[in-house]
Amino acid sequence: MCGIYGYIGKLNAYEKVLEGLKLLQYRGYDSCGIAYYGNGFQINKAIGTLDNLEKVDKETKIAFGHTRWATNGAVNINNTHPHVSFDKAFTIVHNGIIKNADSIKDSLIKQDIAFYSDTDTEVIANLLAYLPGKIDNRVKQLFNILEGSYSLIIGYKNGDIYLVKKFSPLNLLQAEDGIYISSDISSLKQGELYTMQDNDIIKISKNSISNITNHQMNFVKHENSIKAYTLGKFKHYMQKEIYETPISIENTYYYLKNQKIRKIFKHYNKFTFIGCGTAYHSCLVGERLFREKLKYEANSELASNYELNKSISRHHLHIIVSQSGETADCIKVAEKIRACHGKLLLITNEPTSTIARMADYLILTKANKELAVASTKTYCCQLFVFAYICHVLKDKNYDINICQFTKILNDYMTNIKVTSLVEKLQSSDKMILIGRDIDYISLLEASLKIREIDYIYTIPMYSGELKHGTLSLIDENSNILALNTSDDIDKLEVVKNEIESRGGSVIFIDKLYRIDKSIDEYYKPIFSIIPFQILSYEIAISKGYNPDMPKNLAKSVTVE
């Protein structure tokens, strides 16, 4: 779950890699490092973000680097990438995880090879140094020895660069000023792009490129998408992305309007929705709509749990939702679905992702790049996709006045003021979120936002369940946020009285931020989650937290 970036070319490679890594910090920001060539590879490392890296004035034409989210080993300078082999011949950065690293390490230690980190990456470096034979053949042997997922940039002491990919994304781009390497396509400038395939090894030597595994390399034109990384008038990416929701939904609508949705779904009436985290919450909404509005057989599964299923039904359409299309748990499920000859639909924001290449069907959320760790606009686009699909499957002539819809949404968002709520809630150490029916799903997502951005313990629950145990937590310090987008308020009023009689206070979010009555019920979950997104952002700001980079987290979870 790390970002890797490299450059070989005419310009200052160190500066180009530093620029590239800044675009990848959403993938990890525990520590960072850059290797740059000049009479062998030299290394510059730092704990924390790239701002902590010392400036290097030396001109260099070859460099590669890494921004880390810790998986193997604590956050310290010894565990920070790049890693160097015991003989100083190999310098490596790595995204992924090596499952058999411990056994390889034990065997190398028996050969009196010293280790200075707790990482699986140093194991790869020392393994390469220990293996006999020509360098090309040593690199090829990695596929026979290493178990797990990995994308690697390997620098050899003579300046040659090797790119290795297995189950973890890595991309190569040729531009006029040089060769660019990145674990995320969207961080690359305009040029000719090659998306590496599994078991690819590419060698770059004196600006020449060769695939030493003899795979055909098909380069395609890549347009520059880096402007998505600019903040403009906003202070943080999370804030920017929340307010990009209306245009993201509008773009998604025009994309969906040109897709043959009924053709994808016409052979199925049983559906399994699969996702992780925020994407799983959108799955729960999709399941509810398919089951209650279309009367289909539908269920939702967490990808990390569904992988354990011993059988995959060929009669279901499996719908994986993944913002990045690189979520490791979802990739494992996709592999299992393919092995069992099941059918897979992917809903994603990244059309060139690993799961996208595995799917039978693909539906995109056209949200542009999302960089903040907390997913906001892509979640709303996922909800829109499910609502729109349900309408189209019910009525082949269905359409929505998207201009009117996004105007209502823009006006709604403009009127969301949370200052008084922030003042009341910022010192909370716990919150209870209550609602019924589909509102409960919105509260699951709201709870996740408050936990991951504000570090406040939240308990989302069905309102009717409060009296079955959790009411024991209520006192005069308790803050309860309630959501009720249906017309039935009687039962929530009863719960409100139960809470207030014990000294707690209840805030009805739907009363503070009323949803326009013209909004179709299928689309209401989009409106009900946005106040919580804005609230979680503003609480984080009030507490001095960086909402884009919450502690212990990273954006694209590419490890299990």
Residues annotated as catalytic are 2, 555
The pair of three-digit structure tokens given for residue 428, joined into one six-digit string: 């909370």
- Considering only CA atoms, which of 404, 465, 441, 407 is closest in space to residue 528? 441
b/e per residue 43-73 (b: at least 16 CB within 10 A): bbbbeebbeebeebeeebbbbbbbbbbbbbb
Torsion of CA 13, 18, 23, 26, to 10 degrees: 140
Pairing of strands 297-302, 220-222: unpaired
User: CA–CA separation, 241 vs 223, rounded Å?
Assistant: 21
184: amino acid identity, one letter = D
DSSP 174-239: EETTEEEEESSGGGS-SEEEEEPPTTEEEEEETTEEEETT------EEE---GGGG--TT-SSHHH
Classify residue 551 as left (phi > 0), alpha (psi -120 to 50) or beta: beta
User: CA–CA separation, 56 vs 51, rounded Å?
Assistant: 13
| Coil/strand/helix, residue 319 | strand
* Phi, psi angle pair for 28, to nearest 5°: 160, 140
User: CA–CA separation, 36 vs 63, rounded Å?
Assistant: 4
Q: Helix 135-145 to helix 120-130 angle, to the nearest 10 degrees?
A: 130
Strand partners, 272: 299, 318
The Cα-based distances of 78 to 129, 236, 285 in angstroms read 19, 31, 44
Cβ-based neighbour number of residue 551 at 10 Å:
10
DSSP 279-308: HHHHHHHHHHHHHHTS--EEEEEEHHHHTT
| Coil/strand/helix, residue 271 | strand
Cα 286 from chain centroid? 20
The pair of three-digit structure tokens given for residue 423, joined into one six-digit string: 């003042």
DSSP 138-158: HHHHHHHH--EEEEEEEEETT
The pair of three-digit structure tokens given for residue 333, joined into one six-digit string: 């499920």
